[in-house]
Amino acid sequence: MKTTWWASAWMGRGASLAALAAAWTLLPAGCADDPDRTPGTAAGTTTGSGTGTTTGTATGTGTGTGGDGGAPPQLPSSCTEPELPEPLGSSHVVGDGTAASCTRDAIATAVESGGDVTFDCGAAPVTIPVPSQVHITADTILDGGGQVTLDGGGTSRILDVDNHVSLTVVGLSFVNGHATSLSDDRASGGAIRGGWRGTVSAYDCAFDDNAAGAEGEEGGGAIYVPSASTLVIVGCSFQRNSGGLGGAVHNLLSGLTIVNSSFVDNSSDNGGGAVYTDGASEETDDAIGGVIDICGCQFVRNQTFTQGGGAYLFAYPPDEILINQTVFDSNTVFRRADGGALGGGLRPGNATLQLENSLFVDNHADVHGGGLWVDGNLPSNITNTTFTRNDAGVSGQEGGYGGAISGGNLTLTNVTIANNHAEHSGGAIFNESSESVTLQNSILAGNSASNPWDLDHSCRDPMQGSHNLQWPAPTDGDLPCTADVIAEDPLLDALADNGGPTATMALPSGSPAIDAGDGCPETDQRGLPRVQPCDLGAFEAQ
């Protein structure tokens, strides 16, 4: 893997102008007691040109307005890793000190009654062929010590977990796993398939070149968990995995926590280039809900069709989506001939979103939201985040709305949106209406759109909010994005490592964005304290 600034930081852990023409349809709700039944997925479709309409149905409360309910508390300035589970009490060993003794059958014997399972395969790293999946029928902690690779040979899933069972894997590499359909089983989870009402946890593991099916609801090239379960991923890497829904991970109606992990070059056919979720708790209509929590992660060069080049995070109220200190870099969502393409970096939906201290760079969507597309059903709060060099649309084709962001019911606070491009409208933001987005203490600079009227380079319509900078200066046709914008060049530095978990665009001395804010968050994108009067954008000059 190419070592970039984000990779070095992670490895240091130690181990329209005319109209919005979009339509989406939710599939009918399924049954929560069927662990593999997806209750609802969204499919984006863009049709027509000129004046368009939005059709279809969606679970939720409607578009709403941005910013009238107050911002939630700021997310932490660091990521907390869930602790490893306590030992289970019974110990078993795979192998007798030689590589030859470490086989698929030896693993199956060691995990037969569950417990704490380690490997004794000699001093050198070892690769163990797994020509048929190993069944986990009791709670198990499987620890490879960073020395063991399990290889499905491109023909077999590696681990299959029974219902009501907890599996924790530590320090293992999973390669070439391949999920195939069995009599009672969809082809999901190429490396690991969790069980209903169970738990799958992965710590310091690598998942490379695993594959799941691409028919219907199949997916999760590396990991799949069915409903009413829990999935925890800490310090793991996922590369070149593939599947129908979620190239690396498919999480169905289950709580999801991903911390300090990387997703690179994964791909899917129908949404979520790397990660696909459909709900965070067992029921879609309860009063409890669950959480999708992603912190300290990198999504790089993942791709899919329809929605969510990096990740497609769909949920059900009162589920919450929390994303902190995460990078979406060079992800892509393509459209098919009769479909849409929403959210090059990220496509969340149907749940509250809190997105902070993160970076969207060089992402692309064929239709809407080069960096981010939100459906606007429920409020989304985006704070201390940079969007740069993202783009939406394909020259000569329909679409191209919101180079950085497309959607509504958004509150954007101290964001930097620079040098993004839309082929039609809203180089920075394609907002659904003047009331649907609130922009505060933010910088819009160098954004562009390619429509023949030379309009909407920064935004589609004026938005709510104040204390913002917009450059180039608004013209008679290209309106100010909020009232009383500062129409000066912010002199932004190039994207660079300025400290903190993600790259940022610094404000040099003399920038008109310095000391021009009011009521900023306590810290900036880097986690460094802000001073009063505070600066515009995601970076606070110190």
Give residue-wise pLDDT tens across range 468-496: 999 999 876 678 999 999 999 999 999 99
Of the candidates 511, 352, 538, which has an alpha carbon nearest to the alpha carbon of residue 442? Answer: 538
pLDDT of residue 110: 98
**Domain 90-505: assigned CATH number:** 2.160.20
With 80 as the cut, is the pLDDT of residue 30 above it? no
Rounded Cα distance, 204 and 235, in Å? 5
DSSP assignment letter at 459: B
pLDDT band at 20 (very low <50, low <70, confident <90, very high): very low
pLDDT band at 36 (very low <50, low <70, confident <90, very high): low
Cβ–Cβ < 8 Å for 539, 495: no
With 80 as the cut, is the pLDDT of residue 59 above it? no
DSSP assignment letter at 479: -
Residues with Cβ < 8 Å from 448, sequence gap 6 or more? 403, 420, 421, 422, 427, 457
With 70 as the cut, is the pLDDT of residue 22 above it? no
pLDDT tens, residue by residue, 131-142 = 999 999 999 999
- Between 30-34, 179-183, 517-521, the lowest mean confidence (pLDDT) is in 30-34
Tell me the CA distances in angstroms from 421 to 55, 342, 375, 444, one per residue in order: 26, 15, 20, 12
Can you give the residue ranges of every domain in the chain?
90-505
DSSP assignment letter at 81: P
Average pLDDT of the segment spanning 102-123: 98
pLDDT of residue 476: 65
**pTM of structure:** 0.88
With 50 as the cut, is the pLDDT of residue 67 above it? no
Rounded Cα distance, 269 and 218, in Å? 10
Cβ–Cβ < 8 Å for 81, 259: yes
Of the candidates 367, 387, 381, which has an alpha carbon nearest to the alpha carbon of residue 437? Answer: 381
pLDDT of residue 126: 98
pLDDT tens, residue by residue, 190-224 = 999 999 999 999 999 999 999 999 888 899 999 99
DSSP assignment letter at 514: T
Cβ–Cβ < 8 Å for 222, 241: yes
Which tokens in the block code for residue 421?
A: 């491009």
Of the candidates 232, 83, 220, which has an alpha carbon nearest to the alpha carbon of residue 158? Answer: 220
pLDDT band at 340 (very low <50, low <70, confident <90, very high): very high
Average pLDDT of the segment spanning 29-56: 36
